[in-house]
Chain A
């Protein structure tokens, strides 16, 4: 069974631009969560989607948004990029919401210059 696929793996953007990251969950998994990982803050929860609905949201500004499609694929968008948004963005999928065993993708390394 294929794992969680995140694209692109690496991204370099300029401050002020916006970016869209994509995540394809494990086949049959309907819950997708997004995390931001930085050396200083570790892994921090961004939001979770289940059946195209946002179920939970972390403490991030409104510049961070996401959505989920009917095939469970998810995208997250960051607008008006700041230098501090440079991070590894990780997507995790679970079979159902509330199932806490999460399977992570390899992540998208975003660098804002």
Chain B
């Protein structure tokens, strides 16, 4: 059972277009992280959202945590070729006794020039 469902799995767009990636679950998470991973490298943390309804912006990237803390979205405005990569959402459940993260399957984004 995949606790975190990401959609779409693959996305190929032209430079300059906007896109949104979704991360959904039936479970409540205490926090949710978004990572970006390039081939052969480890995931790089982009943002952590903690509060239901929270919106965070990182330049052209906007992250939102759902009010019920069960879902999240990542919106990229005016995508650039440098945004190409695998985007992963990861959720933390429960209290502070574990560092375990549950990852979505990832969204592979290709931005064409």
Which residues of A does B touch, CB under 8 Å?
Answer: 4, 6, 31, 33, 35, 42-45, 48, 50, 55-56, 58, 88, 90, 92, 94, 97-107, 109
Contact = CB atoms under 8 A, between A and B. Distances in A.
Most B Cβ at <10 Å: residue of A31, A55, A88, A101: A101
Contacts of B113: none
Contacts of A55: 97-99
11 contacts: A42-B104, A45-B100, A48-B99, A48-B100, A56-B98, A56-B100, A94-B99, A97-B96, A98-B95, A98-B99, A102-B90
A56 B99 contact: yes
Shortest 10 CB-CB distances between A and B: which pairs?
A: A98-B96, A104-B42, A100-B92, A43-B103, A56-B98, A42-B105, A48-B99, A31-B99, A56-B100, A104-B43
B102 interface: yes
A90 B33 CA distance: 16
A100 B103 CA distance: 12
Nearest to B104: A42
Nearest to B2: A42
